Amino acid sequence: MLRVGLLIAMLMLLSGISTACLAKSVRIVSPDKNLTVQITDQDGLRYSVTFNGVTVIRDARLGIVFRDRPAFGLQGERLNDITPKTFNDTWSQRWGERQHVINQFTEALTGFTLPDDSFAALQVRWRVYNDGIGFRYEMLGSGEQGIAITDELTESTLTQSEQAQAWWIPALGWNRYEFLYQQSGFADIDRVHTPFTVRRQDGIHISIHEAALVDFASMYLDQRRSGTLKAALVPRSDGLKVLTRDDFISPWRTIQVAPNAVGLINSDLIINLNDANMLGNVDWVEPGKYVGIWWGMHLGKFSWGNDGVHGATTERARQYIDFAAQHGFDGVLVEGWNHGWDGDWFKDGDLFNFTKAYTDFDLAAVSSYAREKGVRLVGHHETSGSVTHYEQQVERAYALYDSLDVRQVKTGYVADGGQMKRVDEQGITRYEWHDSQYGVNHYLRSVELAAKYKISINTHEPIKDTGLRRTYPNWISREGARGQEFNAWGSPPNPPEHEVNLAFTRMLSGPMDFTPGIFNLAANGLDAENRVQTTLMKQLALYVALYSPIQMVADLPEHYAQYQDAFQFIVDVPTDWSHSIALQGEVGDFVAIARKQRDGEDWYLGAITDENERVLTIPLSFLDANVRYQAQIYKDGEEATWQTNPYQYVIQSTAVDKEDVLTLRLAPSGGAAVRFALIKR
Ligand code: NOJ
Ligand code: CA
């Protein structure tokens, strides 16, 4: 920095420019000194990021454009001095990939001298962690309403992007986030959602995302000239991006930087940048496993409405409750018990009634039968994106569930992108993006209201996760990517690399309700297009590889009977962890993750691969010292392959300790799941 400063000063002296407009730079360094952010006011406000001496982001712009005020970042703002401070604390979470989270970073607030006071006064707050950076805009006002943001100028300008590979899904698409992840060079990237994952040629991995998305438009990335990704804000129906106050705080813009692919998974950057739990005691938030009257509808065996073979009958719900109770599962989801599903339900959300049951479903009897059996009914609200209609009923609907001791509700917003329906204050119908400021606010309102009734929310067709589970631990899971359901009817279904792609992209944002555990992999035969393109063992491994504090046991109960020995893994596997470590992996190819059970001694491992068979050599050094474990290994058989032989597997048991090394062969689109059960001394 010193040398650059000197050079600039010399050039200026030579060219006769006065030193009054000498560009200024400041630096913020991570606690381990490996990551550096340099901010300068030369040529607008810009920042660069250096990791282990390699500049990965260079001269990327900062700024915000307002409708009624001069844009911030374009007015010749001068950078003030900063005083970086280092923070180091550890916080605990009710549930998560790990119980205790280390939160260690260097923080600095950059203020700016403005040409005069008609300009918008903003500061930028920076946090530089060992595993990435976050920065956000903070406007210094008195709370005046009506500040309109029309654009954001923030860039992330990646160096050597021509040689890099990226994994992404398109933004502003009709299917929200439910697209197949693409792997491509930068030439093929246009407008993409975050988390956006990049592998540089030198092996450094980068993920760009945002944290704490509250009362703001969601950010996507719009590639300008090669390698320059501009932050773009999803528009509101009135054309503005954000309508806010003059003391707004933007979400954090985040850049994770890791020396390898698994480093991205092992980062806590996103939750660390969110505010602490605001709900107080949240012991009522319950992680666990659930079954559901669900897959039968996706297979076309049952219908949601009363216009076919109605799935949600009292009798079937009792059978599912019995099945859950028999195996120690916690919940039973019932979809389609309430009025409004008949006909083309995804086209008309205004017909849903969230408190009125079909006559063949006795809500009170089912929920009390569940409680007798030590199980809970899991509630369901499909809105088909008709949000005003839903909001008019939601409080009554939560109160009803609360009165029946239902503690978890799955919500759904099936509607095309840009088609979330609301009726404004004048009674005019508007259509909004799910990820617009309106959508962002609706989703959070529903979670806050649910907290009042001690209800946790599992949002499908959600806003993307930005770590708000830390602040609102009752936001227990969400979808936000192509889930298992696409294997029933998607064209195409999820290909073998899909879940491995998820691990390094979607999953970096937070838990996903993927709904693993399909055992009847090909209901219409192995050659049918719609089938699950994995081996049976990969379905087991997903319970560990794709994190969620609630995991569905997604198949029809009768499909588990044939593979009772494999089913035992699903019975045993917990959904809440004290430690998690991504051990090995490459984006889009494979991943192996180990997790230690919360409030228990056992470790679990899940390894999954794409269409390629591979042999993993896994040192068990993550296990606790001075103890032995019985490793119960569920792995693909020698001849297994997802296409023609997905059901061939081997279950072995062997004693191991942390000095041992496990060799696991994964079949094409296969997997391995291991329980390390502590051998008591
Ligand atoms: C979409 C959800 O992702 C799916 O799980 C659910 O069954 C349907 N909506 C109906 O609500
Ligand atoms: Ca969905």
**Tokens read off for 223:** 């590639």
Of 494, 524, 547, the last residue of a domain is 494
CA of 427 to the centre of ligand 2 (A): 29
Question: In terms of DSSP bridges, do strands 331-334 and 376-382 run parallel, antiparallel, or are they unpaired?
Answer: parallel
**Average pLDDT, whole number, for the chain?**
96
Phi-psi region for residue 622, left (φ > 0), alpha (ψ -120 to 50) or beta? alpha
**Res. 142: pLDDT tops 60:** yes
Token code pair at residue 553: 């046991």
Structure-block tokens of residue 390? 């839903």
Using CA positions, which residue lies closest to atom 3 of ligand 1?
A: 460
Does residue 105 register a pLDDT over 90?
yes
Whether the model clears a pTM of 0.85, i.e. scores above it, the answer is yes
Shortest CA distance to 227 belongs to which of 155, 171, 151?
Answer: 155
Q: Decide if pLDDT at 36 tops 60.
A: yes
Average pLDDT value for residue range 28-52: 97
Residue 11's pLDDT is 43
Helix (H, G, I), strand (E, B) or coil at 530: coil
Indicate the residue among 494, 516, 533 that finishes a domain. 494
**How many A from CA of 299 to the centre of ligand 1?**
12
- Give pLDDT, residue 114: 83
Same domain for 391 and 312: yes
**Cα 60 to ligand 1 centre (Å):** 40
At residue 18, the pLDDT reads 37
- Domain membership of residue 278 (yes or no) is no
Task: Please tell me the distance from the alpha carbon of residue 629 to that of residue 531, in angstroms, as a whole number.
Answer: 36
Listed in sequence order, the residues at least 6 apart from 294 whose beta carbon sits closer than 8 Å to its beta carbon are 333, 335, 515, 552, 554
Is residue 652 within 8 Å of 664, Cβ to Cβ?
no
Query: What's the confidence (pLDDT) of residue 13?
Result: 40
Question: Are both 245 and 126 inside the same structural domain?
Answer: yes
Tell me the per-residue pLDDT of 354-364, one tens digit each, with 9 for 90 and over.
999 999 999 99
Q: What is the CATH number of the domain that holds 381?
A: 3.20.20.70
> What is the greatest pairwise CA distance in the chain?
88
Residue 318 phi/psi, 5° resolution? -60, -40
Bond preceding residue 251 cis, omega within 30 of 0 = no
* Cα–ligand 2 centroid distance for 589 (angstroms): 24
- Listed in sequence order, the residues at least 6 apart from 304 whose beta carbon sits closer than 8 Å to its beta carbon are 297, 311, 312, 335, 336, 341, 345, 382
**pLDDT > 70 fraction of the chain, expressed in percent and rounded:** 97
- The answer to whether 618 touches 583, Cβ cutoff 8 Å, is yes
Q: How far is the CA of 460 from the centre of ligand 2 (A)?
A: 6
Most informative mutation of 484, 485, 515 for ligand 1 (most atoms within 8 A of CB): 485
pLDDT tens readout for residues 647-674: 999 999 999 999 999 999 999 999 999 9
What is the total count of domains within the chain?
Answer: 3
User: Is position 482 within any domain?
Assistant: yes
DSSP string, 396-435: HHHHHHHHTT--EEEEE--S-TT-EEEE-TTS-EEEE-TT
Ligand nearest to the CA of 434: 2
Q: Verify that 245 and 300 share a domain, yes or no.
A: no
Q: What is the pLDDT of residues 55-85, one digit of tens each?
A: 999 999 999 999 999 999 998 999 999 999 9
Contacts of 206 (CB under 8 A, 6+ apart): 56, 158, 197, 198, 200, 255, 256, 257, 258
Q: Which amino acid is at 278?
A: M
Ligand 2 ion: Cβ-proximal residues, 5 Å cutoff: 460
What is the per-residue pLDDT for 6?
Answer: 43
Query: Average pLDDT of 317-346?
Result: 97
**Ligand 1 pocket check: which of 382, 478, 489 to mutate, most ligand atoms within 8 Å of Cβ?**
382
CATH number at residue 7: 2.70.98.10
Are residues 436 and 422 in contact, defined by beta-carbon separation less than 8 angstroms?
no
Q: Which residues contact 11 (CB under 8 A, 6 or more apart)?
A: none
End-to-end CA, the chain: 58
DSSP one-letter string for 213-273: --SSPPEEEEE-STTEEEEEEPPPTTS-SEEEETT-BPPEEEEEEESSHHHHHT--HHHHT
The answer to whether residues 577 and 488 belong to one domain is: no
Give 539's DSSP letter.
H
Mode of pairing for the β-strands spanning 122-129 and 78-79: unpaired
CATH number at residue 581: 2.60.40.1180
Amino acid 67: pLDDT: 97
Sign of CA dihedral 171, 173, 179, 180: negative
Question: Atom 9 (ligand 1): residue with closest C-alpha?
Answer: 412
Nearest ligand to the C-alpha atom of residue 335: 1
Residues 247-257 have a mean pLDDT of: 98
d(CA 131, CA 510): 16
- CB 102, CB 132: distance < 8 Å: no
From the number of C-beta atoms within 10 Å of its C-beta (0-12, 13-18, 19+), residue 205 rates as buried
Q: Quick one: tokens of 253? A: 């813009």
246 and 333, same structural domain? no
Return the DSSP state at 347. Answer: G
**455, part of any domain:** yes
56 in a structural domain: yes
3-state secondary structure of 186: helix
pLDDT at 596: 99
> What pLDDT is recorded for position 21?
59
In this structure, how many other beta carbons lie within 10 angstroms of the beta carbon of residue 556? 20
Q: Is residue 239 part of a domain?
A: yes
Q: For 428-442, what is the mean pLDDT?
A: 98
Tokens for 122?
């903003």
- Domain of 217 in residue numbering reads as 2-272
Domain membership of residue 589 (yes or no) is yes
The pLDDT, as a whole number, for residue 354 is 98
Residue 413 has pLDDT above 50, yes or no: yes
Q: How far apart, in whole angstroms, are the C-alpha atoms of residue 604 and residue 598?
A: 11
Residues with CB under 6 Å of ligand 1 are 294, 335, 382, 412, 414, 460, 479, 485
CA distance 376 to 333: 9
Question: What is the C-alpha to C-alpha distance for residues 299 and 313, in angstroms, rounded to an integer?
Answer: 17
357 three-class SS: strand
Ligand 2 centroid – CA 414 distance (Å): 7
What pLDDT is stored for residue 19 in this prediction? 38
Residues 6+ apart with CB under 8 A from 575: 287, 288, 289, 543, 548, 549, 550, 551
Same domain, 303 and 255: no
Q: How many residues does the chain have?
A: 681
Evaluate if residue 3 carries a pLDDT over 80: no
Query: Which residues are CB-contacts of 260 (< 8 A; sequence separation ≥ 6)?
Result: 203, 205
Locate 168 and state its tokens.
Answer: 């992404």
Which residues, including other chains, have CB under 8 Å from residue 428's CB and lie 6 or more apart? Answer: none
Three-state SS string over 592-621 comes to EEEEEECCCCCEEEEEEECCCCEEEEEECC
If asked whether residues 57 and 171 sit together in one domain, one would say yes
Q: Identify the domain boundary among 494, 509, 525.
A: 494
Q: Give the mean pLDDT of 450-457.
A: 98
Cα–Cα distance between 119 and 112 in angstroms, integer?
Answer: 11
178 in the same domain as 35:
yes
Q: Is the model's pLDDT at 342 over the cut of 80?
A: yes
Pocket test for ligand 1, best of 414, 434, 477, 486 (most atoms within 8 A of CB): 414
Q: Do 30 and 177 reside in the same domain of the chain?
A: yes
Least confident of 1-15, 159-173, 276-290, 470-484: 1-15
Residue 502 CA to ligand 2 center (angstroms) comes to 15
CA distance 615 to 237: 51
Tracing tokens 């596997």 back to the chain, one arrives at: 573
Q: Could you tell me if 46 and 156 lie in one domain?
A: yes
Phi, psi torsion values for 466, nearest 5 degrees: -130, 25
Q: What is the mean pLDDT of residues 623-646?
A: 98
Place 434 in a pLDDT band, splitting at 50, 70 and 90: very high
Residue 504 lies in a domain: no
Nearest to 220 by CA among 168, 161, 273, 166: 168
In a domain, 286, yes or no: no
- Mean pLDDT within 260-288: 98
CA 502 to chain centre: 9
Q: Do residues 452 and 398 both lie within one domain?
A: yes
Q: Which ligand is nearest to the CA of 298?
A: 1
CA distance 182 to 188: 10
Residue 16, pLDDT score: 35
CA distance 341 to 510: 30
Going 26 to 30 to 32 to 35, the CA torsion angle's sign is negative
Q: How confident is the model at residue 10 (pLDDT cuts 50, 70, 90)?
A: very low
**390, 323: one domain:** yes
On the CB side of 120, CA atoms within 13 Å amount to 26
The Cα 114–Cα 110 span in angstroms is 13
